[in-house]
Amino acid sequence: MKLDVQLDGRPDEAAQRARELIAAGADGLFTFEGPHDVFLPLIVAAGSSDVPPTDLMTNVAIAIPRSPMNLANMAYDLHLLSKGRFRLGLGSQIRPHIENRYGATWSRPAARMRETVLAVKAILNSWQAGTPLDFRGEFTKHTLMPPTFVPGPNPYGVPPVLLGALGPVMTRTAAEVADGLLVMPFHSHRHFRERTLPAVAEGLERAGRDRIDLYPQAIVAMGGTPEEIEAATFGVKGLLAFYGSTPAYRPVLEIEGWGDLQPELNALSKTGDIMAMIGLIDDTMARTLAVVGTPAECATEIRARFGDVAERVCAYFPGTTHPPETISALARELRRTPSACVGDDLRGDDGGGRRDAGDVPTPS
C-alpha cells in the first residue's frame, strides 16, 4: 500500500516539511481544513523547485461555504502546478461549523454535496472539452463562461473529485457521483465493513457504476518504544474524544456498543474539560477506533482493515510529529506485503476479518 501523510503546520514551513516527508518515504501529502488554509500549503509544495514531485490532496476542503467555481479554479491550477498529481477532496462539515464558524447556510448536506461535486466536474469538463457550460442545479447555477475566463484544456487532464463521508447517505452519494470516497478516519473495522462498504455498494448500484476509488484514513498512534506508543496514544485519545463528542459520529460508537459514551463526551465538550474527555477513551477503544503500535504493527493492522479494497491509506498522527525514520519505517512496512488486486471482488465481512459469500460491487 502507498502512504499519504498530512502536510500540517504553517504555509511558510510547508516546503521544508514536504521535503522531509517525501524523503522519509511518503507517497503523497494531504492537507486538512484546520488553522491554516487548506490549499496554500499544497501550492507551496507544488510550486517549490526543491520539493520532489509527489501526489497532493485536500483532505478535505469544506465545500458548502465555497463556490463550485472557486473550487474548480483551485483544482485546475493545482493539477497544473503539480503536473497532474492533484486530487480535490471535498467534505461537508457539520451544521455548527457551517453556520457559526463559516457564517454560511446549512441545509440538506448530502444533496448539496452531490450538487457541488457535479458542478465542479461540469466546470472542469467544460474547460477541458471546450463545450458550453450549462449547469443548473437546485443550489447553484453555472451558465456564464466567457472566453476570457476559460483556462483551456489542462495538459494533465481533469483532476479527480473525491468526497469525504461517514454516514450511509453521504457515503451512497459519494459512490454515485464522486471519483473517490474519502473514508472518515473515525471508524472501526466493523463500521467500515458493515456500514461503509454496503453503502458504497448501494450507491454504485443506484448510479449504474461498477467501481469507485477508496481512500481510507486511519488515526495512528505509532512509536518505536512502549513509551513512544503511550505518548502517541494520548494524542490519539484526544482526537477520538473530540470526534466521539459529535452526534453525527455516534453510529461508529454504537456499532461497538459504546453509544452511551457520545452524549457524555458531548456534555464535557461544552464545559471544555478536555482531560475528562480523554479519560473516557480507554485503551480498548483506542485500539478499536485507531491503529496503535510499532510501525510494523500499525502497517499490519492497516493492511488488515483496508488492504483488499484500497491501494493507499491516509495516516493521521494527532499530537505527534514523527522523525523521518519512523515515517520511513511505516512506509516501508506498508509496501512489504502487496495489497490485494483492486479489481478483485469484495466480499461481505462479519466484522472479524472473515469473508462470507455475499457479493458486493467492487470499490477500487
User: Which pLDDT tens digit goes with each residue over 283-337?
Assistant: 999 999 999 999 999 999 999 999 999 999 999 999 898 989 999 999 999 998 5
Report whether pLDDT(363) > 90. Answer: no
Question: With contact defined as beta carbons under 8 Å apart, do 319 and 235 qualify?
Answer: yes
**Quick check: bond before 60 cis, omega within 30?**
yes
- 359 pLDDT band, cuts 50/70/90, is very low
Phi, psi of 360 (to 5 degrees): -130, 135
Strand-pair category, 291-293 with 213-222: parallel
pLDDT recorded at residue 256: 97
String of DSSP letters for 269-291? HHHT-HHHHHHTS-HHHHHHHSE
* Torsion on CA atoms 65, 67, 73, 76, rounded to nearest 10: 80
Residue 349 has pLDDT above 80, yes or no: no
**Segment 137-190, tens digit of pLDDT:** 999 999 999 999 999 999 999 999 999 999 999 999 999 999 999 999 999 999
> What are 317's strand-pairing partners?
none
Q: How high is the pLDDT of residue 110?
A: 97
* DSSP-assigned letter for residue 185: S
User: 60 with 74: CB under 8 angstroms?
Assistant: no
Provide the β-strand partners of residue 136.
141
**83-124 pLDDT per residue, tens:** 999 999 999 998 999 999 999 999 999 999 999 999 999 999
Q: Is the model's pLDDT at 281 over the cut of 90?
A: yes
- Answer whether 166's CB lies under 8 Å from 248's CB: yes
- pLDDT in the model for residue 130: 97
Please state whether 13 falls in left (phi above 0), alpha (psi between -120 and 50) or beta: alpha
246-272 pLDDT tens trace: 999 999 999 999 999 999 999 999 999
Select from 260, 324, 318, 259 the least CA-distant residue to 295. 324
Write down the residue that cell numbers 452511551 correspond to: 260
The predicted pLDDT at position 355 comes to: 30
pLDDT at 342: 35
Cβ atoms of 317 and 222 within 8 Å: the answer is yes
Count CB atoms within 10 A of the CB of residue 49. Answer: 5
Q: What pLDDT score was predicted for residue 8?
A: 86
pLDDT in tens, 233-246: 999 999 999 999 99
Q: CB–CB of 98/106 below 8 Å?
A: yes
| List of residues 6+ apart from 286 with CB closer than 8 A | 221, 233, 236, 237, 240, 292
Residue 52 in this model has a pLDDT that exceeds 90: yes
DSSP 37-69: -SSHHHHHHHH-TTSPP-EEEES-EE-TTS-HH
pLDDT at 364: 32
Q: Which residues contact 158 (CB under 8 A, 6 or more apart)?
A: 79, 121, 124, 125, 128
Banded model confidence at residue 345, pLDDT cuts 50, 70, 90: very low
Q: What's residue 337's pLDDT?
A: 59
CB distance 215 to 180 below 8 Å? yes
Residues shown for the chain:
364
Whether residue 350 is predicted with pLDDT greater than 70 in this model: the reply is: no
pLDDT surpasses 60 at 1: yes
Instruction: State the cell numbers at 102.
Output: 463559516
**Model pTM score:** 0.90
Paired strand residues for 292: 221
pLDDT of 351 > 50? The answer is no
pLDDT tier for residue 338 given thresholds of 50, 70 and 90: low
